[in-house]
Structure 1
Amino acid sequence: MQTSCPPLRFRLLLVLSILLAGARVFASSPIATPPPLLLISLDGFRADYCDLYPAETSHLRALRSDGASAAALISVYPSNTFPNHYSIVTGLYPAHHGIINNDFFDPARGEFFHYNRAAISGDGTWWGGEPIWVTAIKQGRRSACAFWPGSDAAIQGIRPTFWHPYDYSIPFEKRLDELLSWLSDAPAQRPAVTTFYLEETNSVGHRFGPHSPEIRGAVKLLDERVGMIVDRLRQAGIAANIIVVSDHGMTECTPQQVVLFDDYFDLKKVQIDFSETAAGLRPLAGADAAAVFASVSRMPHVHAYHGDAMPPRFHLTANPRIPPIWLVPDEGWCIMSRENFTKYQSHFDRGQHGYDPALPSMHALLIAHGPSIRPGVRIPAVANIHLYNLMCAATGLKPAANDGDDRLVRAFLR
């Protein structure tokens, strides 16, 4: 017996009802939350430390081998801690986020910014741009900062969900336990992005230099701590994307490579905004600015620039915090007053940074590893302003306006 087919209208209604039912099931299913992102900074960890000290960097080398990395992370200028940490999390050059150095002067406010004075660095009105922990909060996600320059401040009136004032006396083990407690929350409650800061290669590099036995020990210590973080996450079953960075490198210095301001101008006629591995000068009222510039242009091992005519590669333009005269010393040279040199000569830093980011000694570290990261990727050196877009893409956040592009997104993400 032959069976007749259902009418066309009936068949169309049946297909439509199946599609609508499927849509309802899909809409009621939870959307997968991206893996949490953990951004780890190893302050002052040079790009080549893993190769200079292979026996001391087994954990970092394993992450590099199994994940994605760059030959170097290129710092913004000046290659100092605060401008670079903040460029990493905003994707902005210092002239655009406003933190043009560790210390600087703001003529509009008539005040100095000092990185090591909590009442100042913790004032959110100094900080421009949008760090990724604020991006997360503004988009309904959580964020956490176990120390990071800027995380002490309410930027745009917003703080991370979890944060602490900077206090490096807190033992690493206690900070690690807290990190795990944050990331052990249910996916919808845990931070989308967490920053974690480790300092020792910076302080030891300053005191003893980048080729000293002491820096070998500091490199080993931080490698072991990164290994502890990875092991604890694995034991807890937390599949996190981990990005390990540094803010700058380190180069050798000696007390014999110092140029003194006093030999070239009257210190009573010039305000020194900052000095040592970069110097900013503001001729005071009544001073002959042209004569001051002519004098400092004669300094040996120093390049003098007008603040509105910095080399384009430094991206320092159109910000009133940039002083009228900016001095860039050669690698390993410092500029300071005779008073400061006398004060610090007995314990002069054997390692320094802040120099031209093009110098290999200033190059920093970049390693990425995790479920969203393509394994076995090795790319050439890349500027740190591109990290913000990578982190936003990995966490499903829409980035705020920034100076970077998607080159790391295309290179690193699966």
Structure 2
Amino acid sequence: MNPSFPSITFPNHWTLATGLYPEAHGIVGNEFYDPSKGKMFIHKKPEISMQSEWWSGEPIWTTSSKQGRKSGVIMWPGSAVPKTLPDYLIDYKREVTAEQKMDMALEWFDKPLEERPQMISIYIPQVDQKGHGGGPEGKQLNGVLSKMDDAVGHLLKGLEERNLDNHVNVVIVSDHGMAQTDKSRLIFYEDILSKETLSFLREREAWPLLSLRPVDNAPEGIVQQIYEELYNYTQQPNKDHADGKAHFQVYLRENVPERFHYSNNERIAPIVTIPDVGYAIVSHKDYKIPHGVHGYDNLALEMRAIFMARGPKVSKLYPESGTVFSPFFNIEVYGFLTRLLNLNEAPNNGTLHGVFQPK
């Protein structure tokens, strides 16, 4: 499965939940500036990020609740937003293990039928956390993957013990992939832009993109000036990398290639700079970077996400066990879930409506 662009956590979790591209649902990065509000969205500050004003679209748990099916969400990004609260919510706590989350879901299955949620979403961040720390090639990652696999097994066993394995559909997805990086693949943007240009910039947005926005009192023409300084750098032999390449592409927001679906929202900065996979655009004061990075071109091999599904409705739709689908974009997951739940879709960007093409 291909993630949406940029291939980072909050935009893609909300895309999975709503079926909307980030430019449509408004969560265009983990950190971004909204010029109409005059303030920053910062995903790690829930007092800011969990305000309803940031979030557009209808997540699957709201669709479910609106149509008479109770919903429960365990720590999914965006689920604590007041205007789209599920019927049951367990808010994010970093220290909770994957197996503990599966037990929380199983406890909901033990509720009386009239109280039991028919739609449950669970977020597990441990693979992402270890991927950032050691990279996708790091020694610790296989152990974490094994624990996550055990947690899924724990859930399936719990369903079987409750005689629910032939009644529950289980869908497993990831929000993005991960690429290995290191200090040999750093690009210092302060060495590219002039001091004058740097003096007119707000704080960068949408890491690992270099999304740049001028301050309100910047002179006319500054956006074009920023673009030309970055673009001209890409047209010259580069002495900092052995292959002589700049290792990034820069666009004015309105010229970002259409396939990214990343132009039609003012929360996207006027300058969008996309590093090559494995490279990081940094400043000299914050060049400490993780060993694993994501957020690159959403069609890059390293950014691919996963999609797996099993259960009675899945088998009805796709009778042949082990069916492999042709690649699709994660805007289609919402439609697939509504199909499993026999729900009417809210407006979204998906086109397949839950009907995937076997490979």
Tell me which residue corresponds to 1:117. 45
Q: Does 1:332 align with 2:273?
A: no
**Greater CA drift, 372-381 or 396-405:** 372-381
Tell me which residue corresponds to 1:286. 218
Choose between structure 1 and 2: higher strand proportion: 1
Supply the distance in 2 between the matched residues of 1:176 and 1:88 (Cα, whole angstroms).
20
Supply the distance in 2 between the matched residues of 1:406 and 1:305 (Cα, whole angstroms).
30
Q: Does 1:356 align with 2:284?
A: no
Tell me which residue corresponds to 2:242. none
Structure 2 residue corresponding to 1:301, chosen from 247, 262, 269: 247
Supply the distance in 1 between the matched residues of 2:102 and 2:224 (Cα, whole angstroms).
54
Tell me which residue corresponds to 2:163. 237
Tell me which residue corresponds to 2:110. 184
* TM-score normalized with structure 1 length: 0.77
**Alignment CA distance shift 1:275-1:399 (3 Å):** closer
Supply the distance in 2 between the matched residues of 1:273 and 1:126 (Cα, whole angstroms).
19
What's the secondary structure of 2:273's corresponding residue?
strand
Q: Does 1:269 align with 2:200?
A: yes
Supply the distance in 1 between the matched residues of 2:279 and 2:265 (Cα, whole angstroms).
26
**Alignment CA distance shift 1:293-1:406 (3 Å):** closer
Alpha-carbon contact 1:201-1:215 (below 8 Å) kept: yes
Displacement of 1:101 after TM fit? 0.9
Supply the distance in 1 between the matched residues of 2:102 and 2:172 (Cα, whole angstroms).
16
Segments of structure 2 that go 5 or more residues without pairing to the other structure are: 235-245, 316-320
CA RMSD between the two structures: 1.6
Supply the distance in 1 between the matched residues of 2:281 and 2:356 (Cα, whole angstroms).
41
Give every structure 1 segment of 4 or more consecutive aligned residues whose post-TM-superposition deviation is greater than 6 Å: none
Displacement of 1:301 after TM fit? 1.0
Tell me which residue corresponds to 1:226. 152
Deviation digits for residues 205-258 of structure 1, max 9, x if unmatched?
111111222111111111111111111111111231000000000111011211
Segments of structure 1 that go 5 or more residues without pairing to the other structure are: 1-72
Alpha-carbon contact 2:18-2:60 (below 8 Å) kept: yes
Displacement of 1:187 after TM fit? 4.1
Deviation digits for residues 284-315 of structure 1, max 9, x if unmatched?
33343222111111152111100111111101
Tell me which residue corresponds to 1:61. none
**Alignment CA distance shift 1:257-1:186 (3 Å):** same
Tell me which residue corresponds to 2:311. 370
Q: Does 1:168 align with 2:102?
A: no
What's the secondary structure of 1:137's corresponding residue?
helix
Alpha-carbon contact 1:259-1:333 (below 8 Å) kept: yes
Tell me which residue corresponds to 1:199. 125
Displacement of 1:409 after TM fit? 3.0
Tell me which residue corresponds to 2:243. none
Tell me which residue corresponds to 1:384. 330
**Alignment CA distance shift 1:184-1:242 (3 Å):** same
Partner amino acid for 2:129?
Answer: S
Structure with higher RCO (Cα < 8 A, 6+ apart): 1
Tell me which residue corresponds to 1:53. none
Displacement of 1:337 after TM fit? 1.7
**Alignment CA distance shift 1:380-1:407 (3 Å):** farther
Task: Report sequence identity in percent.
Answer: 32
Partner amino acid for 2:210?
Answer: A
What's the secondary structure of 2:203's corresponding residue?
strand
What's the secondary structure of 1:152's corresponding residue?
coil
Structure 1 residue corresponding to 2:339, chosen from 389, 393, 398: 393
Deviation digits for residues 125-144 of structure 1, max 9, x if unmatched?
11000000111121222101
**Alignment CA distance shift 1:171-1:379 (3 Å):** closer
Tell me which residue corresponds to 1:41. none
**Alignment CA distance shift 1:172-1:215 (3 Å):** closer
**Alignment CA distance shift 1:171-1:215 (3 Å):** closer
Supply the distance in 2 between the matched residues of 1:122 and 1:270 (Cα, whole angstroms).
27
Deviation digits for residues 339-381 of structure 1, max 9, x if unmatched?
111xx2xxx3111100001111000110000011133211121
